[in-house]
Amino acid sequence: MKMTTILLIPVKLLAKAVLYLIAAVVGVIGVIALFASAILQRLGFYAGGAAIVAAIVMWIMAESNMALTAAIMGAAAILLPVIATFISSGIILLKEKLLDVSADIGLVP
């Protein structure tokens, strides 16, 4: 029994180290994505609002095809950064799960 325990400790230690490294990389990616999506969210609200106002003006001027395109572009400019924020939050949650898994690995049986 002692031989098995001695052989498993380096494997468990290596698994813990790899999980910490992966969690660090995933955490950096998540923070960068969150920062970029926060900036794009602010810009997207202004660009999307302007596109929707332009779509209303186009619709009043009887340019319905262009108005629909502008409205869809405006909605996309508003919604895509919000979706990116949810995705980056999910990446950060994945980092937390990796840290939880590495914490569950016990070195001493």
What is the band of 107 on the pLDDT scale with cuts at 50, 70, 90? confident
Domain assignment present for residue 4? The answer is no
pTM for the model stands at 0.72
What rounded mean pLDDT belongs to the chain? 86
Domain assignment present for residue 7? The answer is no
Domain assignment present for residue 27? The answer is yes
pLDDT in tens, 35-73: 998 898 888 889 888 988 988 888 888 777 888 888 888
Domain assignment present for residue 90? The answer is yes
Domain assignment present for residue 60? The answer is yes
Domain assignment present for residue 5? The answer is no
Overall domain count for the chain: 1
Burial 42-81 (b: 16+ CB within 10 A, else e): eebeebbeebbebbeebeeeeeeeebeebbebbeebbeeb
Residue range of the domain that includes 24: 15-104
